[in-house]
Amino acid sequence: MYLTVRSREACLVAALVAVGAVCRIGLGQLALAAPIPLYGVLIKVGLAETLAFVGGFVFGPALGFLTGALIIVISDLFMMPGPWTPFIAAIIGILGVTGGVIRRFGGNPSVLALGAYAALLTVLSELLQNAWFAVFFNIPIASVLAMGIPSMVTALANNIILLTTVGVKTIELIQKFTSRSSGLRDRPVDGI
């Protein structure tokens, strides 16, 4: 089975990845400059999850996974790559897959349903990230989950707000762009 991607789709996925990575790098630098208690909260603000979901919703599960994973991998190259990078990339990629699955089986959900999906997927993402952290650093999962409450609340607010506002508008814009013809007419080239 092969994945066929049109050049227009590849360009749009690349744009989603670029915007997500640049936002994550900028906000990551802001978080590093903040006092330590605010770092865990500020690092959860961003577009990575929203754009991964959008990529999956518009282009399908495979490109959704690619969008989410590349946002994390590329931004981590400029921030602080580590053993967590492939795991976080896979987790965010799963959000992109979920966007594609929701579109395939659920059609066009309402904004309220998107908010519910954002909440559910954020909790899943945070639980997976915290579980990985606990296993990797050999810390009891209950302690990690308790310490992660402020960042989970921030991630929930961020993802619900961004998916139901920026996400909806981005989906509409991409769907409008991809459904229009390119404006180029097929015509023979004179003299050849």
- Domains of the chain: which residue ranges? 7-179
DSSP secondary structure letter of residue 189 = P
Q: How far apart are CA 5 and CA 9, in angstroms?
A: 6
What tokens does 95 get?
């959000």
> Count of CB atoms within 10 A of residue 114's CB?
22
Cβ neighbors of 182 (< 8 A, separation 6 or more) are: 8
Fold category of 7-179 in CATH: Arp2/3 complex 21 kDa subunit ARPC3 (1.10.1760)
What tokens does 159 get?
């993802």
Q: How far apart are CA 48 and CA 18, in angstroms?
A: 10
> Per-block average pLDDT, block size 10, for the chain (192 residues)?
84 97 94 84 90 96 97 95 94 97 92 96 95 95 93 94 96 85 38 40
Q: How far apart are CA 85 and CA 10, in angstroms?
A: 23
What tokens does 39 get?
């770092």
Cβ(126)–Cβ(83) under 8 Å? no
Give the three-class secondary structure for 185. Answer: coil
Query: Which pLDDT does position 1 carry in this prediction?
Result: 67
- Cα-Cα-Cα-Cα torsion 59, 101, 129, 112, nearest 10 degrees, comes to 100
> Count of CB atoms within 10 A of residue 66's CB?
24
Query: Which pLDDT does position 190 carry in this prediction?
Result: 39
What tokens does 106 get?
């659920």
